[in-house]
Chain A
């Protein structure tokens, strides 16, 4: 165990010593700053409510109803907004003002950027040792190849979590600076599967980032496998990023076939089961998707392990 810890220490140190990692973090900072500035200057959803917020909401509803009578186009949006306002009034939940928490929640799409960075790290972590020739130095130590591979995989996951934490903290700080903080964990009302529901913002942040981590985790493992088999980081990063972007198109292209449900990308977005959007094929369930994901993970890891532990290291 002690040895594994030292190995992970080594691997994480190698990730963070490299300049390219810091450049990636600078990109994260710029991206969050950009998104924050954008939402600061285009504040659409920044209604503030006073103590008499119930009356204010009712007035808003009346205005929306009038607008609907005047224009046919406003229909859907306005009906939904009225329903939501009614829900606030009925359940006595004061609409939270837009603040740091909301900002963090709205920008959960930043998680795909975390996926991208983690794929870059995963794609390089084995392949680069071959590129640098240092793989020989790693493998002639009294440590099994399996342990070395495991330490590298764990280090990639640590990088992913550290980067996630960095993104969350940084976007909260950016949100707090621009929009302030309304309480520790404000309540919010969301539409899930056609139904309105009340929950807290922290809960929502965890679930929206959490579901997106599934995709990150699978694509990272995929890049790691390509890295271990082909010993080429460009190939690993390229194929993983391509599949991450093309995955949903591939699935929708084959949506009418029965076997589409066994494709990895038909199963990586588990929110389809909670949001009411529905999976690609009606017979699929959350349990089915989880089994498919586990099977894929086992195959990817087994392939990485076989390639890394059984093959000769020759020619570099």
Chain B
């Protein structure tokens, strides 16, 4: 259906005898926004550093637009714009001086392109101020501007909404979506802010201890009506409700903050309510929510490993 922008083939990283990344294998398509999440120390940053050639690849390959980062670094990296970890710039230079500095490092960036990129991230007013006086949000925007200078076909952003105010986050989110859909750019976003990722990404990859432990497609999840949902019912007497659910429908429930909570398909809800009403249980409230990425994330990695 679509072209592959980046491919990881059995990517491994060893430091000393310790294997930090244990064979990552996935593809990112053009026009896709891919979220890369995992707890601290899972290997997100190491993977990103290998993608852009900051760290050597122990085994396997990163292929960008058909070019291997290992054997053909210059050609491969020309397709990539990135912010690795923090958007660090020279504090003693203005935003514009920083952009010009980086523009000189890649062939074919015109003065018009620099101005265009400044406009895209809405930095016209601050571009002549020294970066040392920027807020984190402003540096984040300048970082994105810098990454877009050479019109890359892959954009790698580490924690792109870090330090942005809500308006800034919305702006960046919209812009990233537009880049993907209109310019067919593949965007890789690493983050631990799961809700942020959910709003921005088409697909999410979860990494833990150097291994990909799952992929989630965000859009599919919305379409999927029969998927299991988190259901919480406020009923009285609640112990009777729990008993009925167990007897009639074979559902094991949990008591959470006065709610009877369980997992079931959305289509099942009317039947349950009918049962309860017929048995004269008072039903005050029924809440149905889809399992968020956050829940899945915690399910997959186990809550205790975070941090």
Determine the chain A residues whose CB is within 8 A of the CB of B53 once the complex forms.
Answer: 139-140
Determine the chain B residues whose CB is within 8 A of the CB of A192 once the complex forms.
Answer: none
A313, closest chain B residue (CB): B54
A-side interface residues, number (CB < 8 Å):
27
When chains A and B are docked, how far (Å) is the Cα of A314 from the Cα of B56?
10
Determine the chain A residues whose CB is within 8 A of the CB of B107 once the complex forms.
Answer: 3, 142
A310, closest chain B residue (CB): B56
B-side interface residues, number (CB < 8 Å):
31
Q: Is A136 an interface residue, CB under 8 A from the partner?
A: yes
Interface string of B115-141 (1 = CB under 8 A from A): 000000000000000000000000000
Determine the chain B residues whose CB is within 8 A of the CB of A141 once the complex forms.
Answer: 77, 102, 105-106
Interface string of B72-112 (1 = CB under 8 A from A): 01110110101011101111110001000110111100000
11 residue pairs A–B, Cβ–Cβ below 8 Å: A7-B104, A9-B104, A14-B90, A134-B89, A136-B85, A137-B146, A140-B80, A140-B84, A142-B78, A142-B107, A312-B49
Determine the chain B residues whose CB is within 8 A of the CB of A132 once the complex forms.
Answer: 88, 90-91
When chains A and B are docked, how far (Å) is the Cα of A217 from the Cα of B73?
33
Q: Is A257 an interface residue, CB under 8 A from the partner?
A: no
Q: Is A133 an interface residue, CB under 8 A from the partner?
A: yes
Evaluate whether A136 and B105 lie within 8 angstroms (CB atoms) in the complex, with A17-B97, A142-B78 already known: no
When chains A and B are docked, how far (Å) is the Cα of A18 from the Cα of B93?
8
When chains A and B are docked, how far (Å) is the Cα of A143 from the Cα of B106?
8
The prevalent SS among residues of B at the interface is: loop
The prevalent SS among residues of A at the interface is: helix
Q: Is A91 an interface residue, CB under 8 A from the partner?
A: no
Q: Is A199 an interface residue, CB under 8 A from the partner?
A: no
Interface string of B48-62 (1 = CB under 8 A from A): 010011111000000
Q: Which of A260-316 contact B (CB under 8 A)?
A: 310, 312-314, 316
Q: Is A6 an interface residue, CB under 8 A from the partner?
A: yes
A131, closest chain B residue (CB): B88
Q: Is A144 an interface residue, CB under 8 A from the partner?
A: yes
Evaluate whether A7 and B92 lie within 8 angstroms (CB atoms) in the complex, with A142-B75, A313-B54 already known: no
Query: Which listed residue (B54, B75, B146) contacts A139, Cβ 8 A?
Result: B54
Question: Which B residues are within 8 Å of any A CB, using their own CB?
Answer: 46, 49, 52-56, 73-75, 77-78, 80, 82, 84-86, 88-93, 97, 101-102, 104-107, 146
Say whether A10 contacts B89, CB under 8 Å.
no
When chains A and B are docked, how far (Å) is the Cα of A124 from the Cα of B77?
27
Question: Which A residues are within 8 Å of any B CB, using their own CB?
Answer: 3, 6-7, 9-10, 13-14, 17-19, 132-134, 136-144, 310, 312-314, 316
Say whether A13 contacts B101, CB under 8 Å.
yes
Query: Which listed residue (A136, A144, A313) contacts B73, Cβ 8 A?
Result: A144
Say whether B93 contacts A314, CB under 8 Å.
no
B79, closest chain A residue (CB): A142
The listed residue with most B CB atoms (<10 A of its CB), out of A10, A137, A139, is A137
Evaluate whether A6 and B54 lie within 8 angstroms (CB atoms) in the complex, with A137-B88, A142-B78 already known: no
Determine the chain A residues whose CB is within 8 A of the CB of B74 once the complex forms.
Answer: 142-144
Say whether A136 contacts B55, CB under 8 Å.
no
Q: Which 5 A-B pairs have the closest CB atoms?
A: A133-B88, A141-B105, A312-B55, A6-B104, A142-B74
Determine the chain B residues whose CB is within 8 A of the CB of A18 once the complex forms.
Answer: 92
Determine the chain A residues whose CB is within 8 A of the CB of B84 once the complex forms.
Answer: 136, 140
Determine the chain A residues whose CB is within 8 A of the CB of B82 once the complex forms.
Answer: 140
When chains A and B are docked, how far (Å) is the Cα of A119 from the Cα of B27?
47
When chains A and B are docked, how far (Å) is the Cα of A9 from the Cα of B100?
11
Determine the chain A residues whose CB is within 8 A of the CB of B49 once the complex forms.
Answer: 312-314
Determine the chain B residues whose CB is within 8 A of the CB of A140 once the complex forms.
Answer: 52-54, 77, 80, 82, 84
The listed residue with most B CB atoms (<10 A of its CB), out of A9, A132, A140, A312, is A140
Query: Which listed residue (B55, B73, B102, B104) contacts A137, Cβ 8 A?
Result: B102
**Smallest beta-carbon distance B58→chain A, Å:** 10
